Amino acid sequence: SKNFVFTVLCGGCAYWLLSVQAIWFPAYFTKVQHFNGQTLKLAVSLPFLFAAISQIGFSMLSDRIYRKTGDIRKARINLAGSMMVLSALCVYLANVVNSSAVSILFFTLAPGFAYVILSLAPAIFMDFFSPKNIGKAQGTFIALASSTSILAPLVFGYFIQYAATEAMGYHYGFQVTAFGMFIIGLLFWIVVRPAKQGNTKIKAEEQVSI
């Protein structure tokens, strides 16, 4: 279904950025931004720290919205889609700003926003699939979405190898990443709908704060 396809694509963006973060962020900070010492340590570690914290925070926020509205689109889909779009903007801005501090800030925020889909996808699939098929759906999602983590280093490496300068290669790589994340995040946000409208409303007795 289109719901599953666009959820996989959105998850693929998250895995793509995860691969870029692990492999190319450190190289970019060292070779292009010329960070060293404490600045390099912060630039590399802060995105991972914020990503970990944001997964807990956005998951709690999503549950809170769901308890109040009973609407899976508002609580899960809108949140994940908007965060992917925001992450794309952060990736774009991080690569074009002149300030090193602002660049580190945007590179720190981008992964944490993008990975929200990985936390919320299982909850989204609970609305799309029956309990009999939910395990298979989640396994397929991870298998397909994570395949982008193989492609990302190859694409970045291609740009870096064949661009006029190494800095220009990184620039192209980040621009392509930001553009893809923005388009797919926006399409996910617009296209994905709850499978059954009735499933989006929870019983009144469940709408209580825990």
Does the predicted model carry a pTM greater than 0.85? yes
Residue 173 per-residue DSSP state: H
Phi, psi dihedral angles at 192 (to 5 degrees): -70, 125
Instruction: Name the residue ranges covered by the structural domains of the chain.
Output: 2-193
Structure-token pair, residue 20: 């870029």
Q: Please tell me whether residue 69 adopts helix, strand or coil conformation.
A: helix
- What's residue 195's pLDDT? 63
Rounded distance between C-alpha atoms, residue 58 and residue 119, angstroms:
8
pLDDT in tens, the chain (210 residues): 899 999 999 999 999 999 999 999 999 999 999 998 889 999 999 999 999 999 999 999 999 999 999 899 999 999 999 999 999 999 999 999 999 999 999 999 999 999 999 999 999 998 888 888 889 999 999 999 999 999 999 999 999 999 999 999 999 999 999 999 999 999 999 999 886 654 444 443 344 444
CATH number 1.20.1250.20 is the correct assignment for the domain at 2-193: yes
If one counts every other C-beta atom within 10 angstroms of the C-beta of residue 7, the result is: 26
If one counts every other C-beta atom within 10 angstroms of the C-beta of residue 36, the result is: 10
Q: CA quadruple 169, 172, 178, 184: dihedral positive or negative?
A: negative
